[in-house]
Amino acid sequence: MGSINNFHQRIRQLIRAKGGDTDGNEDFYFTYPSQLWMVNRVRAIVGARNTSPAVRGSFIGTFSKVSLRMMFKNLPDPVVAVYNPKSSQDVVKAIIDKYGLFVEPGWFASFPVQRPPFTVKIDFVETYWTSSDRDMYSDDVRISVTVEQPVVDIASLFKNVVLDKPVMPWPRRLGYTNTELLTYGVDFTPNFDEDFIDLKNIKEDDDLSSDEDPHVWRSNTIIRLLKERLGIPVVRTAGIEGQLSLYGAKLLYNGPTIGYPTADVWYDNVLVFTTEIDPTVEDAVFTYRGTIYVHYNNVI
């Protein structure tokens, strides 16, 4: 972690100040004998593993615990800009980044925050290395942080950031309307229990477009739902211009949305199937091609 690595660097500086030699590859470890623990200081045994030929052995050091109030002594209370913080941890990370503090987010208590702008008091929790500034009689000893909403200059963002080339989430089919774009954001939840049962029982390709019993009842239901919710003609046979044809449709999935990686999990279930996408089948599908997402909720 960042602060621990910086602490290791500080130990290397102390060793060099005493005439020692370090090469930057030392891996220090710490043990804390309980009988040597103090309120605002800690005595720790600092050792170096055999990761560097320059430093061997261990020593006992006495360290002052880190106090957040002392770190900001004679400094104005911190002000940070955070976009839509979810908790105090987002605020803490912004403080660490802005002021270059050698501390860890885990050394702070986590609690919910509101949307900026707001002011909040923060403090360390008690650890071996940190000392809480909380006063049992007053909160004023803790530092106050002002959190502002960042002002984003969109023009500067695009000047300084090279964005990836935008990519469509589904394959483009030149000359056709993608059925993914047509159906993904539509709620197909049936209004009637019977339709829900038919939709839930679609288990094979014939249930999508067959006109033979018993498949025809389920295919009638999906065709009717598509017509109602999309507002376009839908047919089970080879279509003409402007019709959504289910000719040659292939079932991919029908079940809970959590079981299909690209489904919208705000819904309970999704039926996924493809239309005929073979470019050589020109006499079957004219206007719409691709994958059809039929998202629907449980009604019974």
Same domain? 104 vs 133: yes
pLDDT of residue 1: 42
Same domain, 199 and 281: yes
| 156 in a structural domain | no
Residue 43 confidence (pLDDT): 76
Q: Which residues pair with 67 in a beta bridge?
A: 131
Q: Say yes or no: 183 and 278 in one domain.
A: yes
Q: Are residues 185 and 88 in the same domain?
A: no
DSSP string, 78-144: PEEE-SS--SHHHHHHHHHHHHT----GGGB------SSSEEEEE-BPP-SSEE----SS-STTSEE
Are 103 and 132 members of one domain?
yes
Element (H, E) at 46: strand 41-48
Are 202 and 281 members of one domain? yes
Place of tokens 């002011």: 119
Same domain as 43, residue 12? yes
In a domain, 165, yes or no: no
Which of 47, 64, 81 is the endpoint of a domain?
A: 64
Q: Which CATH number does the domain housing residue 93 bear?
A: 3.10.430
The gap between the terminal CA atoms of the chain, to the nearest Å, is 51
* Consecutive H or E run containing 42: strand 41-48
Q: Are residues 56 and 75 in the same domain?
A: no
Taking only the tens of pLDDT, the chain with its 300 residues reads 444 556 677 778 877 887 777 877 777 777 766 554 566 777 777 887 777 777 777 777 777 777 777 888 777 888 998 887 888 888 988 888 888 777 778 788 788 888 888 888 888 877 767 777 665 445 556 788 899 888 766 666 566 666 666 666 777 766 778 899 889 989 999 989 999 999 999 999 999 999 998 999 999 999 999 999 999 999 998 777 888 989 889 999 999 998 998 898 889 999 999 987 665 655 556 788 889 999 999 988
What's the total number of domains in the chain? 3
pLDDT of the residue at 63 = 74
Whether 157 is in a domain gets the answer no
Identify whether residues 79 and 57 lie together within a single domain.
no
Is residue 169 in some structural domain?
no
To which residue do tokens 């004679």 refer? 74
What is the pTM for the complete model shown? 0.47
Is residue 28 domain-shared with residue 117, that is, in the same domain?
Answer: no
151, 186, 210 - which closes a domain: 151
Residue 154, classified by CB atoms within 10 Å of its CB into exposed (0-12), middle (13-18) or buried (19+), is exposed
List Cβ<8 Å contacts ≥24 apart for 255-261: 257/295
Residue 159 lies inside a defined structural domain of this protein: no
Structural domain contains residue 245: yes
Residue 292 forms part of a structural domain:
yes
Last residue of a domain, one of 64, 92, 117: 64
Encode 109-135: b = buried (16+ Cβ within 10 Å), e = exposed. Answer: eeeebeebeeebebbbeeeebbbbbee
Task: Name every residue whose Cβ is closer than 8 Å to that of residue 214 and which is 6 or more positions away in sequence.
Answer: none
Residue 124 falls inside a structural domain: yes
Alpha-carbon span 131 to 8, nearest angstrom: 20
Are residue 55 and residue 134 in the same domain, yes or no?
no
Domain around 49: 2-64
Give pLDDT, residue 255: 94
For residues 36 and 80, state if they share a domain: no
